[in-house]
């Protein structure tokens, strides 16, 4: 009989176990069990979590807040791949969270992709540094500065001349419709009421007579608002027929309100801005263009609204010209402070939509920027408010920054938001502390929404050059005064540095 050998303590390999408290040694270790699973199911065990499904192609707008993967945004590419049905982008959030920063990032990126940036009606002049840095042109519109004739065909003039006969007729009618809509909008702004049917027909007939006379003149020239006023005062035969009178005194009484409204455009607060030939000329090779109306920012809303509508009309003519030109170059356009122009008088929402209506077939990517949907409540009529909501809802992409919970009630009528997405947006809304120098929790954070898809929460980090170009707080970025008793005004970093210098003394 063979004696079996039983392992002793000294026979146990020392590599199995640790000789310490709560430890131990063993002569046998069981093999581990193997399991297989997807990264979404075992994401707590596997360090590389499943991707969010965002597309990296496009302008890099930040990293996903949960997966840290880069996120790209290009509405034109999204249209081509069927992700969206139009290229409109709605940007909304509280002041100071960086709405203009992500918009400027998109402008610079899309220009790098070969598009042309157009900023019609830059009320604060905040896009001027970026447009200049991109090698573009900035037109400063205002009294004593450059003028913009609202009836100027602009770049569309050459497109009409080069187009075949059938297409030329359509472009001419498009130009007439836009000019007439702009004239009606300007009259609405001046009198805070829409022109009646007879006045609209009078404007159309007077405009046609002016265009016929200016186009037939040697060398030709663009019609002006004073020309339309002069035709109305002349009482030409077609105008008498529309007014249903052949008596001069009766005609003048029936057209007095319309004549005075046009007269205010030439002699009132807007005099010298839109009643003379355009002094700015379009360069087809420029990569970016801005119509800077910041010189009018302190004027009445009537003046600002007229300036914004005229600028939007000019940019719409540019889009038409580009769409029919030989050197086609798609456009990315920004409309900021949108509601300041639309709240002045009833009916301006519809008229601005006619003037600026741009389709994907024209190759235009549009950004509409606003602080709050509460701006809709400032519009004069319920019809205007309903049409304005339609303008917002027709955008294919929404960029939503931090906002209060009350804002989400109106926003949810435009876009579907889950409870988690709503909670994320409201968490970015307000600073968590009163301590100075803390960054706003929503600065640079946005939720990209499109249709019923789950939103993409991203965080945008600016480059050093962007921090300079995107600075909208320059009015407060002054050096501290010598007297330490005076408050130090500036950015949070500057306040901290200046505070340490005073403490060291």
190 within a domain of the structure (yes/no): no
Residue 109 scores a pLDDT above 90: yes
Confidence of residue 485 (pLDDT cuts 50, 70, 90): very low
**Residue that wins the pLDDT comparison between 18 and 62:** 62
User: What CA dihedral angle connects 411, 414, 420 and 422, to 10 degrees?
Assistant: -10
Residue 369, pLDDT score: 87
**Residue that wins the pLDDT comparison between 40 and 131:** 131
Of 44-48, 433-437, 438-442, 498-502, the poorest mean pLDDT is in: 498-502
Residue 199, pLDDT score: 92
488 within a domain of the structure (yes/no): yes
What would the mean pLDDT of 312-331 be, rounded to a whole number?
73
Nearest CA-CA partner of 244 in 184, 180, 198, 195: 198
Residue 152, pLDDT score: 85
Q: Regarding beta strands 59-64 and 70-73, do their DSSP bridges make them parallel or antiparallel, or are they unpaired?
A: antiparallel
List Cβ neighbours of 452 (8 Å cut-off, separation of 6 or more): 416
**Around 291, how many Cα atoms within 13 Å sit in the side-chain half-sphere?**
33
Report pLDDT digits (tens) over 421-458. Answer: 988 998 888 665 666 656 677 888 999 998 888 889 99
Instruction: Give me 475's structure tokens.
Output: 């009015």
Residue 93 scores a pLDDT above 50: yes
What would the mean pLDDT of 244-252 be, rounded to a whole number?
87
Confidence of residue 326 (pLDDT cuts 50, 70, 90): low
38 within a domain of the structure (yes/no): no
Report pLDDT digits (tens) over 114-170. Answer: 999 999 888 888 899 999 999 999 999 888 888 888 888 877 777 788 888 888 888
Instruction: Write down the mean pLDDT value for the chain.
Output: 78
Residue 416 scores a pLDDT above 90: no
Confidence of residue 500 (pLDDT cuts 50, 70, 90): very low
Residue 38, pLDDT score: 72
For residue 496, what are the domain limits? 479-504
pTM, entire model:
0.75
Residue 40, pLDDT score: 67
List Cβ neighbours of 142 (8 Å cut-off, separation of 6 or more): 273, 293, 295, 296
Most confident of 39-43, 254-258, 269-273: 254-258
Report pLDDT digits (tens) over 220-235. Answer: 678 899 999 999 998 8
424 within a domain of the structure (yes/no): no
Q: Helices 225-234 and 165-191, interaxial angle, to 10°?
A: 80
Length of the chain: 505
492 within a domain of the structure (yes/no): yes
Report pLDDT digits (tens) over 289-306. Answer: 999 998 888 888 888 888
Residue 200, pLDDT score: 92
What would the mean pLDDT of 409-425 be, rounded to a whole number?
84
Instruction: Give me 159's structure tokens.
Output: 């497109």
What would the mean pLDDT of 104-121 be, rounded to a whole number?
92
Q: How many domains does the chain divide into? A: 1
Of 39-43, 206-210, 241-245, 387-391, the poorest mean pLDDT is in: 39-43
Per the CB < 8 A criterion, the answer to whether 100 and 336 are in contact is yes
Report pLDDT digits (tens) over 381-405. Answer: 888 887 777 777 778 899 999 888 8
């Amino acid at each position: 009989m063979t004696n079996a050998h039983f392992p002793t303590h000294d026979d146990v390999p020392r590599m199995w176990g640790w000789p310490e408290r709560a430890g131990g040694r063993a002569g046998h270790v069981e093999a581990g069990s193997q399991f297989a699973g997807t990264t979404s199911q075992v994401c707590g065990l596997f360090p590389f979590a499943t991707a969010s499904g965002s597309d990296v192609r496009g302008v890099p707008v930040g990293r996903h807040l949960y997966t840290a993967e880069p996120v790209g945004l290009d509405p034109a590419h999204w249209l081509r791949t069927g992700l969206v049905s139009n290229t409109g982008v709605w940007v909304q959030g509280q002041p100071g969270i960086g709405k203009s920063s992500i918009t400027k990032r998109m402008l610079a990126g899309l220009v790098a992709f070969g598009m042309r940036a157009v900023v019609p009606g830059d009320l604060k002049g905040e896009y001027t540094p970026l447009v200049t840095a991109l090698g573009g042109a900035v037109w400063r519109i205002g009294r004593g500065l450059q003028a913009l004739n609202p009836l100027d065909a602009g770049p569309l003039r050459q497109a009409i001349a080069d187009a075949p006969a059938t297409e030329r007729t359509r472009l001419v009618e498009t130009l007439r419709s836009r000019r007439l809509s702009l004239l009606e909008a300007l009259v609405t702004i001046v009198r805070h009421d829409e022109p009646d049917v007879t006045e609209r027909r009078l404007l159309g007939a007077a405009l046609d007579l002016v265009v016929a006379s200016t186009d037939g003149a040697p060398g030709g020239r663009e019609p002006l608002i004073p020309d339309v006023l002069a035709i109305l005062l002349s009482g030409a035969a077609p105008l008498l027929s529309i007014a249903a009178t052949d008596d001069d005194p009766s005609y003048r009484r029936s057209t007095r309100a319309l004549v005075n409204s046009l007269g205010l455009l030439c002699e009132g607060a807007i005099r010298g801005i839109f009643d003379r030939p355009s002094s700015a000329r379009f360069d087809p090779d420029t990569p970016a263009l801005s119509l800077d109306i910041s010189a009018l920012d302190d004027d009445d809303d009537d003046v600002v609204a007229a300036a914004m509508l005229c600028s939007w009309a000019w940019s719409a003519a540019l889009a038409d010209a580009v769409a029919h030109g030989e050197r086609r170059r798609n456009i990315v356009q920004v409309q900021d402070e949108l509601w300041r122009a639309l709240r002045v008088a009833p009916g301006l929402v519809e008229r601005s939509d006619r003037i600026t209506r741009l389709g994907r077939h024209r190759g235009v990517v549009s950004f509409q920027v606003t602080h709050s949907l509460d701006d809709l409540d400032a519009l004069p009529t319920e019809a205007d408010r309903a049409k304005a909501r339609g303008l917002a809802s027709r955008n294919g992409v929404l960029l939503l920054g931090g906002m209060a919970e009350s804002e989400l009630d109106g926003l949810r009528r435009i876009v579907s938001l889950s409870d988690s997405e709503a909670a994320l947006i409201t968490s970015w809304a307000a600073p968590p502390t009163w301590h100075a120098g803390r960054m706003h929790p929503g600065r640079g954070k946005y939720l990209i929404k499109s249709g019923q898809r789950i939103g993409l929460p991203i965080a945008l980090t600016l480059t050093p050059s962007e921090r300079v170009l995107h600075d909208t707080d320059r009015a407060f970025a002054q050096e501290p005064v010598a007297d330490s008793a005076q408050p130090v005004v500036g950015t949070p970093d500057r306040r901290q540095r200046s505070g340490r210098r005073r403490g060291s003394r």
